[in-house]
């Protein structure tokens, strides 16, 4: 996994497997709206969940979840709003989760941060 795109796709695949084992229902992957993208849209009980996946090979730039900064959060909120509008969803509990995947060691470590922001 040398390529950033390949690493991102592999990370998303790991996140989907992890979330499905936790009982999430995956509705959509890579939803695009204008200049934003949401990696995974899922249902967790009564919640519609917008999930950002971050995979890092090294801690040189911090933990994977650190990359979900205020600018990224703002973009995710706008994109999630686009998802709601496009699908005619008006009255639904929503939240934002982050799945951080540490690929530094041979076995990936997954951290799931519910209601991250």
Given this model, what pLDDT does residue 7 score? Answer: 67
Tell how far CA 56 is from the center of its chain: 14
In the predicted model, residues of the chain with pLDDT beneath 70 are 1-5, 7
Stated pTM of the model = 0.90
Give the residue numbers spanning the domain of 41: 4-113
Angle made by CA atoms 36, 76, 10, in degrees to the nearest 5: 75
Q: For residue 22, what pLDDT is reported?
A: 98
What pLDDT score was predicted for residue 106?
78
pLDDT for position 5: 67
- Residues forming a β-bridge with 100: 54, 111
H or E, element range at 37: strand 36-44
Contact between residue 93 and residue 46 where contact means Cβ atoms under 8 Å apart = yes
Q: Please count the structural domains in the chain.
A: 1
The pLDDT value given to residue 57: 76
Report the Cα–Cα distance between both ends of the chain, in Å, rounded: 30
CATH of the domain at 49: 3.40.1350.10
Task: DSSP for 57-74, please give it.
Answer: S-STT--GGGG--HHHHH
Enter the tokens of residue 61.
């730039």
């Amino acid at each position: 996994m040398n390529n950033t795109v390949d690493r991102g796709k592999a990370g998303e695949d790991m996140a989907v497997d992890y979330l499905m084992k936790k009982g999430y229902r995956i509705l959509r992957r890579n939803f695009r709206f204008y200049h934003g993208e949401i990696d995974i849209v899922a249902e967790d009980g009564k919640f519609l969940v917008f999930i950002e996946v971050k995979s890092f090979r090294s801690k040189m730039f911090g933990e994977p979840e650190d990359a979900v900064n205020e600018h990224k959060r703002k973009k995710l909120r706008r994109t999630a709003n686009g998802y709601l509008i496009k699908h005619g969803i008006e009255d639904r509990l929503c939240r934002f989760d982050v799945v951080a995947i540490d690929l530094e060691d041979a076995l990936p470590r997954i951290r799931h941060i519910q209601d991250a922001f």
